[in-house]
């Protein structure tokens, strides 16, 4: 091979190497694209929402300062929600928390942060008052559950435990562990 | 004690299945109950409330244990496979390998009804050999025992 070609080949190689290097560096400098919650496709402020079940009856109502809908999943993120759930007799159970997540079909609600869940007032006075850091509510089935510590005050009985499963219609509350209960005779209420 | 009924009833349990209304029933497992001088330990307790007050407590265990002081301060301890306690009538029905100790007296049998208000015990043999076993310690007398014949009157 003719020796005079060598310098040309070397120059071509150097040019290719430096442009490849430049391309690589450019790649690395490109700022990482912002990975965060996708923008909601809509957000409501000071809203009042009524969700209906499959038969068109009110499943739950929720009001609050801010609601945003996930663009792909259709789930809702709600700040400082105030919920109302009618039980089988149409009596309202009320719930509020710091935040809540609602499934796209509205069949599951997860309340998080200082959850207060109160039953309707009873004829004899008083009502069931439940406090917990986290509560999952299934509105149509009118069932609630929690994995956290739960404190339940009801007329004449205070129950506390970890892990809850409850049915609002039957007023049946199952506490799964670490149970403490205190029954006060009506003579002292 | 009769005042126990007006004290709060505190319950510790490993699990609870409660119906929270005035006439509901709560089933608790791995239970310790205290109310005044009443103290209960059982594998399972079913607490029934009527018009908001506890009207019945059924305890099951191997054995279930219950102890309570009567108004004279005497401690009654009872063990049985099933103890049915009615706080309203203050009657306790014990069935299955029943053992009751009150002060120094003891009673064994298959079925025993104890009226904590009157202190009356009603026992029947029930199953097993049908017998009831009671041990009644003689009441301690206050006068000194009579001295033997030879020494009377001496040593003053």
How do the pLDDT tens digits run along chain B, 156 residues long?
Answer: 777 777 888 999 999 999 887 788 899 999 999 989 989 999 999 999 888 788 999 999 999 999 988 888 888 899 999 999 998 888 989 999 999 898 788 888 899 998 877 777 787 665 556 666 767 666 655 555 555 555 444 433
Nearest CB partner across the interface for A174, out of B5, B10, B16: B16
A151 touches chain B (CB under 8 A): no
Whole-angstrom CA distances from A31 to A18, A19, A23, A26, B44 are 22, 20, 15, 10, 64
Nearest CB partner across the interface for B53, out of A172, A178, A185: A185
Burial track A78-90 (b if 16+ CB lie within 10 A, e otherwise) = beebbbebbeeee
| Contact present, B32 and B44 (Cβ < 8 Å) | no
Query: Residue ranges of the domains in chain A?
Result: 43-183
C-alpha–C-alpha distance, residues A117 and A122, integer Å:
15
C-alpha–C-alpha distance, residues B112 and B98, integer Å:
7
B137 touches chain A (CB under 8 A): no
C-alpha–C-alpha distance, residues A127 and A129, integer Å:
6
ipTM of the complex: 0.73
pTM for this one?
A: 0.75
Q: For residue A9, what are the contacts with CB-CB under 8 A and spacing of at least 6?
A: none
- Residues 35-64 in B contacting A (C-alpha not used; CB under 8 Å): 47, 49, 51-54
Nearest CB partner across the interface for B14, out of A177, A181, A184: A177
> CATH classification of A43-183 is 2.60.450.10, yes or no?
yes
């Amino acid at each position: 091979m003719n020796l005079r070609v060598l310098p040309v080949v070397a120059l071509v190689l150097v040019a290719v190497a430096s442009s490849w290097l430049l391309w690589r560096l450019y790649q690395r400098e490109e700022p990482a694209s912002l990975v965060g919650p996708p923008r909601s496709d809509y957000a409501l402020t000071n809203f009042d929402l009524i969700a209906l079940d499959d038969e068109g009856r009110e499943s739950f109502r929720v009001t609050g300062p801010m609601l945003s809908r996930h663009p792909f999943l259709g789930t809702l993120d709600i700040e400082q929600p105030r919920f109302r759930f009618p039980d089988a007799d149409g009596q309202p159970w009320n719930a509020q928390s710091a935040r809540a997540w609602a499934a796209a079909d509205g069949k599951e609600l997860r309340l998080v942060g200082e959850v207060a869940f109160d039953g309707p007032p009873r004829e004899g006075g008083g009502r069931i008052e439940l406090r917990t850091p986290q509560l999952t509510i299934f509105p149509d089935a009118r069932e609630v559950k929690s994995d956290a510590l739960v404190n339940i005050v009801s007329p004449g009985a205070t129950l506390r435990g970890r892990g809850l499963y409850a049915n609002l219609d039957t007023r049946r509350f199952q506490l799964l562990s670490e149970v403490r209960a205190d029954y006060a005779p009506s003579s002292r209420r | 004690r009769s005042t126990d009924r007006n004290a709060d009833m505190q319950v510790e349990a490993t699990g609870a299945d409660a119906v929270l209304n005035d006439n509901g029933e709560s089933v608790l497992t791995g239970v310790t109950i205290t109310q005044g001088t009443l103290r209960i330990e059982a594998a399972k307790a079913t607490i029934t409330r009527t018009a908001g007050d506890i009207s019945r407590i059924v305890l099951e265990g191997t054995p279930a244990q219950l102890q309570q002081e009567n108004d004279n301060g005497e401690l009654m301890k009872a063990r049985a496979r099933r103890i049915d306690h009615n706080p309203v009538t203050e009657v306790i029905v014990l069935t299955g390998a029943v053992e009751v100790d009150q002060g120094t007296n003891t009673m064994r049998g298959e079925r025993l009804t104890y009226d904590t208000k009157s202190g009356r015990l009603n026992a029947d043999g029930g199953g097993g050999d049908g017998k009831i076993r009671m041990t009644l310690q003689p009441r301690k007398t206050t006068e000194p025992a009579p001295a033997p014949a030879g020494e009377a009157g001496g040593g003053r």
